[in-house]
Structures are given as structure tokens and as C-alpha cells.
């Protein structure tokens, strides 16, 4: 992804890029399903009743390579989920380089995996991230830490991120950032030859995402939406991209290659840059807080102040936690907003309905409060439908290490890697009628069965809860969900209050592609026409 979320890397395994696959170790390219990893002790698999991973259907490594490079699925991992589900059914095995995994693509089977994920779920192991942290003597953080230690960190991060009431405290600062976004859109459209078009909207929304999350985390404005982007911000952005690109190369390369090939060194450098920028911002805020307290002022602030003053995380854990929150919180929201605006521009009816709703709750460009948002069901439906069609993290993972797992009528030993194909589940006609169409109404269960659907329930207003899990699920689910929703709801409502959005004349249909996240395959250029 041009502007990638680090969090997404751990979810990337099943959708390895062309680049990565070129870098595969030769010894890893065997097509056989590894019985080594899924070695079945006869007693515990209830011999005769349950099948094992070896009985699962699935592509050979050469078939996978054929699909990826001959059939062109290398950057369409989301569609590969659907194709393989059609070919093999809702559960199949696959192999990428040295990694074996079990893919599940129906909501029922995804639910079964999650129900057995254990007390401390792991998405995927990240030995190379851990190695970097050991090398630099850093704390492990959310993505590397496991077991009760991971849970301890989550328990500290959760309250001020996941509780609706707590997140509402960030509304004023998010509104400031949305105000800057509106200013930026105005500037860009007024400079364009037709005085309307903003080109490559996703890039602008990336800056918005970056500014929004850092305003909340670091309690400081980085100036991403200004003309001149500060140097440290550019360094952080470049480091995010480098780290993610290199991360999936490094994990597949043998250790001996590190002294010959440049990847490991560059990976370390990218992490150093990320960490350095975050550390500086944390230290700056710490110094400000100390000064405040020395002068007798109360230590008031937002997320970082809470982390620093709660005394529940070490300073090293705070550094890595804010770095990881930052990584997870930028291009997830920005890509979702890009897709939402893309569809609104193409669907006049949906856009006007949304505008009417926003106007009725907040007339005259009044800024919505969090209370107002609860009276905007259509706004929420637009975001949900966007996340259903384009779940920006299109596949999730669970590495079940605590217990053996039974899914469908298959038995799996401890340490099986599951790939939760929730893109395929969210695009299944059995769950969502007219699954490929953008129909926000399907989320408004107050409406009578409508003309948009060939049939009513189930499939239109009703679906299995695990067929729509864009933020993941359970205790390991996305920590930034509430903040992301608030950012997206404020940004979208205020953009639609002010502008009518249209595609450029003759603009092509933009398909998604997978580059870690599900992103537009080409720039989205939209015309923003002032409503007044």
C-alpha cells in the first residue's frame, strides 16, 4: 500500500506480494503440505471420527504460483480467497514458502476458530520483529508480546481507545484536523484547472489519517495537511513503507543471507527511524508535562498523558505502543474514506440521502457532536457498507498455540496457523444479497424489504455476525475501532455538508488491489463542488 499500516503486515501472510514471492528461499518452494507442522498424535485426534489437515483439499505450491503469476492474482489476494473458496469449499489448506496454513472462508467456520482461539490469541508469529526489538533492547509491544504480557499491555491501552465515552474526549481535536482537511481540499480544488478536482484523494486522506492519529496520541499537531510537511513526518511515512515492504522479505530470507543482501539492514534502519520519531514525540510531551506540573498546572492531556501518568507501562512499552498505534491507525481509515467517497461520487441517490440526513441533524454546516452521530444511521451504514465491500484488512489470522482445535470435522494440533478469509465471507451472496453492490440500506434494519434486494431476509438485513468482521473480533480485535469510526464519521459528514462530490468526466471504474491492505488500484480523482 502506498501508505501502509504496519499492523496489517501480520495479516499479510496469505497475500504475499510479487516482490516477496520472488524472494522465496529455494528450499521453501516445495508444494507438499507439511505434515511436519501438523503432526497428528493419534490419541488426541479421536481416530476415526475427525479428519486432519492432511485430508484437506488445497492447491499445490506450483498451482499457487500459477495463479499468482500467470493468472495475475499476486495483487488480488482478496479475489484469490473467493476463487479458492469456490474451488475447495469453505476450508482448505495452502502453503506460502515455508508457511502452512488452514484457510477458513465461511462465517460459521471463522466463528469456530475464534471460539477456540484461547485466552491470549495470537494473529501470527513475528520472529523478525522480535529479533529487532531484542537487538535494540526495546520492549516487545502489542504485535510481538504474547500471553498474559500481551494482555497486560492491551488492558492499559484499551480503556482510552475502546470506550465510547472516553473516545468522545478526542472529538474537538479530530474536528480541528477535519477542519484542516476541508482547508486542504479547498486549496487543491481551487488550484486545479477545472477549479474542482482533487487528484489522488487517497494520498490527501492519508495525511488526514496521520494527522488525526498523531493529534490524539502525541497531543501535538504534526502539520501533515500543511503545504510543507515537517521532515520528521516524512521520515516516519517513508519508514512505515520501508519497514512493511522489507518485513515480508526478511521473514522469508535465510539468516546467512543477511550479511550479503541488504534487506535485514534496511529493515533495521526503517524500524530505527520509526522508533526514533515516536520516541522524540513522547519525550517532547513528557518534558512539557513535567514543566506543567512544576508550575503547579494540572497534567491535562489526552492519550499520551494518560499512558505517562497511569504508570502502568514502562517508558519502553510506551514508546513501542504509540509507534504501533500509529502504524495501525493511518491508512486503514484513509483507504476506507477514499472508497466511501468514491462510491458516493458515483451514486447520486446515496450521496443525496446522506446529505439530507446530515443536514437534518446538523443544519448550516454545524459540526456534528458524538451525540449527533447517534442520530445519523445512514452515515454509519455508508461506512459499514464501505468496509464490507473493501475490508481494508482483507484477511485476518489466528495462530492457535494454547490448544488443539476442531473446525468443521477436522482436528488441528496446537500451533496451527489459520487464515480467516473474511473478504470472501463478506462477499458471499448467501450472506449479503447483491453482494457486489454498494447498498448502505442493507444496514438499516428499520426499513421494509426494499426494491434493492431480490429477496428480503436473510441476506439483506440479516447476516451471520462473523460474515462482517472488518475490525477483527474478540479480545484481539482492533484497539482503534472507536477512534477510527469517529474520525471517519466526522470527516465524511463534514465533507458532504460542504461539497457535492462527483467523479471526473469519463473516470474509469477503480478496482481494489491488495498491497498489504486493500487499496485502490489507481488514483481516485474526484470533483468537489461547493453546495452553497
Nearer to ligand HEM by Cβ, of 142 and 185: the residue is 142
User: Does 478 appear as a known binding residue?
Assistant: yes
Instruction: Pick between residue 339 and residue 411 the one whose CB is nearest to ligand HEM.
Output: 339
- Residue with smaller CB distance to ligand HEM, 91 or 325: 325
Give min distance, CB of 260 to ligand HEM, in A. 33
Residue 23 vs 330, nearer CB to ligand HEM? 330
Instruction: Give least dist CB 407 to ligand HEM, A.
Output: 17
Q: Which is nearer to ligand HEM, 384 or 452 (CB)?
A: 384
Query: What does the block give as the cell for 140?
Result: 516487545
What letter would DSSP give residue 97?
Answer: T
What is the secondary structure of 118-178 as a DSSP string?
-SS--S---HHHHHHHHHHT---HHHH--HHHHHHHHHHHSHHHH-HHHHGGGHHHHHHHH
Q: Is 141 left (phi over 0), alpha (psi -120 to 50) or beta?
A: left
Q: Smallest distance from the beta carbon of 335 to ligand HEM, in angstroms?
A: 8
Q: Which three-class secondary structure state does DSSP give residue 527?
A: strand
Q: How far is the CB of 473 from ligand HEM (least distance, A)?
A: 5
Q: Cis (ω within 30 of 0) for the bond into 458?
A: yes
Q: How far is the CB of 93 from ligand HEM (least distance, A)?
A: 21
Nearer to ligand HEM, 73 or 210 (CB): 210
Contacts by residues 226-230 (CB-CB < 8 Å, ≥ 24 positions apart): 226/180
Question: If residue 11 lies in a helix (H) or strand (E), which one and from where to where?
Answer: none
CA atoms of 138 and 130, how far apart (whole Å):
9
- Least separation in angstroms between residue 476's CB and ligand HEM is 4
> Which is nearer to ligand HEM, 68 or 486 (by Cβ)?
486
Q: Say which DSSP state 510 is in.
A: P
Cell numbers describing residue 446: 428499520
The residue (of 17 and 332) whose beta carbon lies closer to ligand HEM is 332
Min. distance of Cβ 382 from ligand HEM in angstroms? 13
CA dihedral 339, 345, 349, 350 (to 10 degrees): 20
Q: Left if phi > 0, otherwise alpha if psi is -120 to 50, otherwise beta: which for 364?
A: left
* DSSP states along 29-73: ---S--TTTT---TGGGTTTTSEEGGGS----HHHHHIIIIIS--
For 519, the 3-state DSSP assignment is strand
Interface residues with ligand HEM (CB under 6 A)? Answer: 7, 123, 142-143, 154, 213, 324-325, 328-329, 332-333, 336, 392-393, 396, 470-473, 476-480, 483-484
Q: Is 241 exposed, middle or buried (0-12, 13-18, 19+ CB in 10 A)?
A: middle
Q: Are 289 and 301 in contact (CB under 8 A)?
A: yes
Instruction: Name the minimum Å distance from CB 212 to ligand HEM.
Output: 8
Instruction: Could you list the residues known to form a binding site, using ranges.
Output: 478
Q: Annotated binding site for heme, which residues? A: 478
Amino acid at each position: 500500500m502506498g501508505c501502509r499500516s504496519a499492523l496489517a503486515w501480520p495479516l499479510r501472510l496469505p497475500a504475499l506480494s510479487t516482490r516477496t514471492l520472488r524472494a522465496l528461499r529455494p528450499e521453501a518452494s516445495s508444494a507438499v503440505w507439511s505434515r511436519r507442522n501438523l503432526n497428528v498424535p493419534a490419541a488426541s485426534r479421536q481416530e476415526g471420527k475427525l479428519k486432519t489437515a492432511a485430508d484437506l483439499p488445497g492447491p499445490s505450491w506450483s498451482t499457487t504460483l500459477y495463479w499468482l503469476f500467470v493468472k495475475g492474482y499476486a495483487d488480488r489476494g482478496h479475489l484469490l480467497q473467493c476463487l479458492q473458496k469456490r474451488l475447495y469449499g469453505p476450508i482448505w489448506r495452502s502453503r506460502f514458502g515455508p508457511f502452512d496454513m488452514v484457510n477458513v472462508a465461511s462465517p460459521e467456520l471463522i466463528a469456530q476458530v475464534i471460539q477456540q482461539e484461547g485466552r491470549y490469541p495470537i494473529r501470527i508469529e513475528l520472529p523478525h520483529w522480535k529479533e529487532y526489538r531484542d537487538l535494540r533492547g526495546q520492549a516487545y509491544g502489542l504485535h510481538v508480546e504474547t500471553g498474559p504480557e500481551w494482555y497486560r499491555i492491551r488492558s492499559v491501552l484499551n480503556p482510552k481507545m475502546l470506550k465510547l465515552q472516553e473516545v468522545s474526549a478526542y472529538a474537538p481535536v479530530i474536528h480541528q484536523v477535519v477542519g484542516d482537511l476541508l482547508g486542504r481540499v479547498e486549496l487543491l480544488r481551487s488550484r486545479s484547472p477545472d477549479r474542482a478536482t482533487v487528484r489522488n484523494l487517497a494520498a490527501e486522506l492519508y495525511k488526514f489519517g496521520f494527522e488525526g492519529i498523531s493529534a490524539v496520541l502525541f497531543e501535538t499537531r504534526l502539520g501533515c495537511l500543511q503545504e510543507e510537511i515537517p521532515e520528521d513526518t516524512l521520515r516516519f511515512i517513508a519508514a512505515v513503507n520501508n519497514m512493511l515492504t522489507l518485513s515480508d522479505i526478511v521473514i522469508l530470507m535465510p539468516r546467512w543471507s543477511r550479511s550479503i543482501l541488504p534487506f535485514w539492514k534496511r529493515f533495521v534502519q526503517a524500524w530505527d527511524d520509526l522508533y526514533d520519531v515516536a520516541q522524540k514525540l513522547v519525550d517532547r510531551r513528557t518534558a512539557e508535562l513535567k514543566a506543567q506540573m512544576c508550575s503547579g498546572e494540572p497534567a491535562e492531556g489526552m492519550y499520551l498523558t494518560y499512558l505517562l501518568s497511569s504508570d502502568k507501562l514502562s517508558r519502553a512499552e510506551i514508546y513501542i505502543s504509540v509507534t504501533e498505534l500509529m502504524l495501525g491507525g493511518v491508512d486503514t481509515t484513509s483507504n476506507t474514506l477514499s472508497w466511501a467517497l468514491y462510491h458516493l461520487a458515483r451514486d447520486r441517490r446515496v450521496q443525496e440521502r446522506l446529505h439530507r440526513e446530515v443536514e437534518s441533524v446538523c443544519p448550516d454546516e454545524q459540526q456534528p457532536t458524538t451525540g449527533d452521530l447517534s442520530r445519523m444511521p445512514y452515515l454509519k451504514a455508508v461506512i459499514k457498507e464501505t468496509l464490507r465491500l473493501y475490508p481494508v484488512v482483507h484477511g485476518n489470522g489466528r495462530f492457535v498455540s494454547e490448544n488443539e482445535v476442531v473446525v468443521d470435522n477436522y482436528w488441528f494440533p496446537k500451533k496451527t496457523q489459520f487464515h480467516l478469509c473474511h473478504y470472501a465471507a463478506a462477499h458471499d451472496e448467501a450472506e449479503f444479497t447483491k453482494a457486489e453492490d454498494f447498498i448502505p440500506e442493507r444496514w438499516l434494519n428499520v426499513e421494509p424489504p426494499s426494491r434493492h434486494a431480490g429477496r428480503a431476509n436473510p441476506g439483506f438485513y440479516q447476516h451471520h455476525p462473523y460474515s462482517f468482521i472488518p475490525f477483527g473480533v474478540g479480545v484481539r480485535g482492533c484497539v482503534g475501532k472507536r477512534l477510527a469510526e469517529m474520525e471517519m464519521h466526522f470527516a465524511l459528514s463534514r465533507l458532504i455538508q460542504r461539497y457535492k462530490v462527483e467523479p471526473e468526466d469519463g473516470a474509469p471504474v477503480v478496482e481494489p488491489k491488495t498491497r498489504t491492505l486493500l487499496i485502490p488500484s489507481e488514483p481516485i480523482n474526484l470533483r468537489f463542488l461547493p453546495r452553497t
